Amino acid sequence: MSLYEELGGEAAVNAAVDIFYRRVLADAYVIRFFEGVDMEKQAAKQKAFLTMVFGGPNNYTGKDMREGHKHLVAQGLNDSHFEHILAHLRSTLAELGVGTDKIKEVIDIADSVRADVLDR
């Protein structure tokens, strides 16, 4: 069973997006990359991303991830910001009661998109 099913499918991802996005917006170190962004559109993208890392149905392509972050890389997006986002994902999962092993699994999948996000 995928973590997506284990957590409770789409409704659980919606709850996770709220927690995750709220943590991200409260983080002064990364907030500048989210300024002026439409909240609902951003939440929809995060939902697609979390669905993917939880092993739910997705049509993730590295190309979208690369294109979508290029302008941010030009503004200085780097590994340190990526680490912050991973940390927020980790604490979101912990808040949802996901076990340590599963969290590591999810973080490994999320980490696998690093090169695409940072356009390397």
Partner 1 sequence: MPIITFEENDYDCNQDETILECLTRHGQTIPSGCQSGVCQTCITKAVKGVPPADAQQGLKDTLVAQNYFLACVCKPTSDMEIAIDKSISQDIAGTVVDKSCLNESVMRIRLQTEQPVDYVAGQFINVKQPNTDITRSYSLASLPSEDALELHIKRVPDGKMSGYLHDDVQLGDTLMFNGPSGECFYTDSNIEQPLLLIAVGTGLAPLYGILRDALAHGHQGDIQIFHGSLAVQGLYYMDELYALAEKNEHVHYTPCVLHGDAPRDGQQGDIQQIVQQSIPDLKGWRVYICGDPAIVKSLKQASFMAGAGMSDIYSDPFEF
User: What does the binding site for partner 1 look like in residue numbers (CB under 8 A)?
Assistant: 14, 17-18, 21-22, 25-26, 39-40, 43
DSSP letters for 59-120: ---HHHHHHHHHHHHHTT--HHHHHHHHHHHHHHHHHTT--HHHHHHHHHHHHTTHHHHTT-
Rounded to the nearest whole angstrom, what is the least distance from the CB of residue 36 to partner 1 in the complex? 9
- Using the minimum distance from each CB to partner 1, give the nearer residue, 35 or 101: 35
Rounded to the nearest whole angstrom, what is the least distance from the CB of residue 43 to partner 1 in the complex? 5
Rounded to the nearest whole angstrom, what is the least distance from the CB of residue 40 to partner 1 in the complex? 7
- Are the beta carbons of 88 and 24 closer than 8 angstroms? yes
